[in-house]
Each structure stands twice: as C-alpha cells, then as structure tokens.
Structure 1
Amino acid sequence: MARDAGLEELVWEDLGGLTGLTTKVMFGGLAWMLDGHLLCGARDVGLMVRLGKGNDTWALDEQDIEPLSMSEKSMPGWVRAGLDTCADDDLRKRLLDAAVAFVRTLPPKL
C-alpha cells in the first residue's frame, strides 16, 4: 500500500489545531494519534477511522464505508472509508469528529 499525500493533507486540515495530536508511519500509510491513542490512518485506498464499539452503525449505513478488518481479523469499532467518502468533505469531517469524540473518552496514554 502507498501513502496518499492529498488525503493526508485533507486529514491534517480537518484535525489541525488539536492538542495531543501526533503522527506515525504505520499500516502502509500515515496514522494520527490523539493523546497516545490511535485515531485514524490514511492510505491510498482511503481512511481507517476509530469510532469505538457500538458507535459505528451510522457510518456503516453509508455506501462507501465498511467494517475494518486486518489480516482477516475483524476490528470492532473501526471502519474503512473508501476514496469517495474521503472526497466528501462533510462526511470525512463527520467521521473524524466522531473519532475524536470517542478517543477523548479514553484516558491519555503516557
């Protein structure tokens, strides 16, 4: 998998200004961490977004969003948004806002 500089820039614009935000290269793309917790990741195939178990139903109703699985392992509470969703500014922002809201409920990692 390759990185997508354009998508990374969009995510930076959406998340810019958050305190506690860092990035790390992982999963073949760029991942954003909030207070030490994995928040989302961007690759050339779209975004993986952490919404939390039980918080992803609304997102899975969207046509271009599906449950995330890695190496055939289901990742409850995570979704993968395709490039069409990533290109929709409102939907992408809604996903990222929901991810931030969930991750902020977790205790900060040291």
Structure 2
Amino acid sequence: MAFDEYLAERISRVLDERKVIYFQKKMMGGLVFMVDNKMCLGIARDKNSGEDRLMVRIGEEAIQSNSHKDGIRPMEFTGRPMKDYSFIYPEGYDMEEDLEFWVDLALTFNPQAKKSIKRSKKK
C-alpha cells in the first residue's frame, strides 16, 4: 500500500458530505482527488519519514495566511516549492475538523486553479 487508505476514506467522506463530484487517480506513488478534472487534494508518503501527508492545492494566498497552522509545509519534489500546493503532515489533519478545514480550502481554490495541459504522447 503506497498511501493511507483510511485517510483516503476520510477525504472521500468529506467530499461526499459536500456533494462534490470527484474521482480518484493513483499518481506519484499516492492518490489524488480530482475535482473538475483538476488536482484538488491528495495523499503522498514522505520518503524520508515514512509519514503519509495530505497534499492540498489551496493557492499562494491561502498558503501564506495559514502558514502558522500545525503540519503545513511547502510541497517540494525538486527542491523548489510548487506554486499553489502545500503538504499537511498528520498533526495538521488528525482531528476531523482540521481535515475538513483543508478540504474546504482546496475546494474553495479549485475553481481558480488552472487545468493541466495534456501532453501528446511521443511515438
């Protein structure tokens, strides 16, 4: 198992309660929740600590205004933070109301998020 299935169930439950249309996609060794065909949130394992972390796409403004919250860290894969994305470590989403907070921020930002450009496959 490359990601925490219980966390995936918790996220699904919050999205279902909010009557959000979404689908799940395995990606980057984890699980991504797609809303309006855009990456909204996900689960990824920290290779160094082995902890599962919540990935949220909340926008730069929300990242700045919530930088004091427990568990929030820049989303970096190559040494540079990814624009609009953050990781939330378990201390930031263990409580149900904390998880709901991050899901709601991601859902609020989603209409402003740009869709990824589909790249054509090389032959």
TM-score (norm 2): 0.78
User: How has the CA–CA distance of structure 1 residues 58 and 91 changed in structure 2, closer, same or farther, with 3 Å as cutoff?
Assistant: farther
User: How has the CA–CA distance of structure 1 residues 58 and 88 changed in structure 2, closer, same or farther, with 3 Å as cutoff?
Assistant: farther
**2:53 and 2:90 in contact (8 A); partners too:** yes
Q: Which amino acid aligns with 2:77?
A: M
> What does residue 43 of structure 1 align with?
44
CA RMSD of aligned residues (A): 2.0
Q: Distance in 2 between matches of 1:93 and 1:64?
A: 14
User: How has the CA–CA distance of structure 1 residues 68 and 107 changed in structure 2, closer, same or farther, with 3 Å as cutoff?
Assistant: closer
- The one-character-per-residue Cα deviations of 1:52-82 (angstroms, maximum 9, x if unpaired) are 1222123221121111111223112211111
Q: How does 1:31-110 map to 2 (within 5 A)?
A: 31-44=32-45, 45-106=52-113
**1:33 and 1:39 in contact (8 A); partners too:** yes
Q: Give the match's secondary structure for 1:104.
A: helix
The structure number with the bigger radius of gyration is 2
Q: Give the match's secondary structure for 2:66.
A: helix
Q: Give the match's secondary structure for 1:60.
A: coil
**1:31 and 1:38 in contact (8 A); partners too:** yes
Identity of aligned residues (%): 23
**1:51 and 1:102 in contact (8 A); partners too:** yes
Q: Give the match's secondary structure for 1:18.
A: coil
**1:60 and 1:79 in contact (8 A); partners too:** no
Q: Which amino acid aligns with 1:26?
A: M
> What does residue 20 of structure 2 align with?
18
* Structure 1 alignment gaps of length 5 or more: none
The structure with higher relative contact order (CA 8 Å, sep 6+) is 1
